Structure 1
Amino acid sequence: MTPRPPPSLDDASAGYFLDAAAELIDAMFDHAIRERPRRLRGIHFPAALEWMRVSDVVGLAQKRHGDGASEKAFRNRWPDRNTFVKAAIIHTMLYRDAPEANPSLHVAKLPASAGAASVADSVIGLCDGLLEALQARPRSYLLHHIGPLLDQYPDLRTAIIEDIVRTREPWFEGYARFLEALQLKLRPGWTIERVGLALQAMLDGFLFRSRIESEEMNEARSAEASLFAETVIAFVLGVLDLDDSRESTHAILDQAARAE
């Protein structure tokens, strides 16, 4: 008989368990409780990820993949539950179970915005499309959920920050090309990195606010765009040096306040 290959953290069996964990994480953040698959309705989801039990992960993975997802196979890859949960968080946040659904792919739409007939409409489409893509994936709220606890897990925090930095770089490059194509410059004190970080913070905030005040956010839409897209446009207009004055945003505000 051909000997079995040694257990690995990136083999098919490992993927079974990690994919099952991703499904359970999505279920925890899914506000449509009645629409959860029947096999998940009996699972109680308390705070953070304390609710995730190895038995639930193994059970779901076995239903998906059969004997290749036994508890022994699980134990051969992760010595304890906490080690697995950390791996599952990264697996889920990186969309390794569904790479085609990763909202970060929207960065590919950024270069076309500069050449659109209406840059405003293109920016609105990009912003609203990105926000809607995040809202459609329950795991988008995972970082909001575990963020306050990350200082307790330095290695997990490091891994998540590294992922955030890595996925942010293509956006920075896209913003730079966008400004270059339109021959636009930023006001003094503003860099591509600061703009990108501000936009990310806005997106995080709007995503969270849209979940807890969905009706109010819908009512705040204009006929053309969401409040998020309108806010992005207002912010961009503020940091762009459209009059080539080389004045900072602070100076422009003071000048406007003193104007008669």
Structure 2
Amino acid sequence: MSPRPAPNRHDLSAARFLDAAAQLIDAMFVQNRTDRPARLRAIDFPAALQWLRVDDVIRLASESGAPGISRKAFHNRWGTKDQFVRDAVVYTLLYHDDPQSDPARFAGDLMTLTSTPASASQAVSKLSDTLLDNLLSRPRSFLLMHIGPLLDQHPDLHSAILGSINSTRSAWHEGYAELLRSFDLQFRPGWSLQSVGLALQAILDGFVMRSRIEPNSMRQFRWAEASLFANTVLAFCAGIVDSDRSGMSTAEFFDNVTADMLSNRDAP
């Protein structure tokens, strides 16, 4: 009889353990507990920011030497940890502890694009890269990516975060509107200040996360003087601004351009 193979991390038994882990990981990130398979609904998954311990918060706050810091003082203000986590997340996202680092302040720089001596693309690229670099230098920029997929399971925290996000958007929307007026431009049909702002935020979120995952690739794919992020913002802007005054939507404009290219290619 041949000897039994030594156990390893790639055999069939290992695969069963890994299959089970994959099911649990998927179950953790569903939008609602009822979306989990029935056999997994009783499992108590860690809440968002479970690693944030009250004891650590009290100890670190006590080290500041500020008066009135004690365990009793903490619990007089927050009856539960969930209440504290909700307030702490919003406080952190809004940079109340460090207002000078708040990326929202860059909204005021939008109007410099109308007076810069450089080309418009250079100005947009500089602002884009400055904003991305600022976010990447602040560890809290990754907070929403850490807890975002779990927010539907924590409605109070989700609502508080949406409120904090909406409170910072108006300044950006006002900046976009002023740029359109200054350059006498308008968006293509289907785009508004709100949808443009949301799309740019989604692009930025993706680049923040991807920059942590593939930093070398992000540096590798710079082109000329612009980063991959800046070039993406430029490409997005080129697609949503009705520069030819045609009134065509982005899709119609794209179809029109590709149709012209195909007809020129097929011409005798």
Task: Give the TM-score category using the shorter length.
Answer: 0.7 to 0.9
1:179-203 deviation digits (Å, cap 9, x = unpaired):
1101111112221211111111101
How many Å separate the matches in 1 of 2:160 and 2:241? 34
How many Å separate the matches in 2 of 1:126 and 1:212? 23
How many Å separate the matches in 2 of 1:217 and 1:55? 39
1:48-103 deviation digits (Å, cap 9, x = unpaired):
41111111111111111255311111111111222211111111111111111101
Task: Give the corresponding residue for 2:153.
Answer: 152
Task: Give the corresponding residue for 2:235.
Answer: 234
SS in 2 for 1:76: helix
Show the 5 A alignment for 1:1-260. Answer: 48-117=48-117, 118-259=119-260, 260=264
Change (3 A) 1:47 1:217: farther
How many Å separate the matches in 1 of 2:134 and 2:60? 26
Which blocks of at least 5 consecutive residues in structure 2 are unaligned?
A: 1-45
Task: Give the corresponding residue for 1:13.
Answer: none
Compare CA radii of gyration and give the structure with the larger one: 2
Letter in 2 for 1:249: T
SS in 1 for 2:64: helix
Return the TM-score normalized by structure 2.
0.77
Q: 8 Å contact 2:188–2:242 — kept in the other structure?
A: yes
How many Å separate the matches in 1 of 2:215 and 2:48? 23
1:217-255 deviation digits (Å, cap 9, x = unpaired):
111112311111111011101111111111111112212
Letter in 1 for 2:75: R
Letter in 1 for 2:69: A
Aligned residues: CA RMSD:
1.5
Q: 8 Å contact 2:86–2:160 — kept in the other structure?
A: no
Shift of 1:47: 8.2
Return the TM-score normalized by structure 1.
0.79
Task: Give the corresponding residue for 1:29.
Answer: none
SS in 1 for 2:225: coil
Shift of 1:205: 0.6
Q: 8 Å contact 2:177–2:193 — kept in the other structure?
A: yes
Shift of 1:162: 1.3
Letter in 1 for 2:209: F
Identity value in percent? 49
How many Å separate the matches in 2 of 1:121 and 1:256? 25
Task: Give the corresponding residue for 2:23.
Answer: none
How many Å separate the matches in 1 of 2:236 and 2:86? 36
Q: 8 Å contact 2:48–2:147 — kept in the other structure?
A: yes
Shift of 1:139: 0.3
How many Å separate the matches in 2 of 1:192 and 1:235? 14
Which blocks of at least 5 consecutive residues in structure 1 are unaligned?
A: 1-45
1:152-195 deviation digits (Å, cap 9, x = unpaired):
11111111111111211110110010011011111122212111
In the alignment of these two chains, the number of paired residues is 215
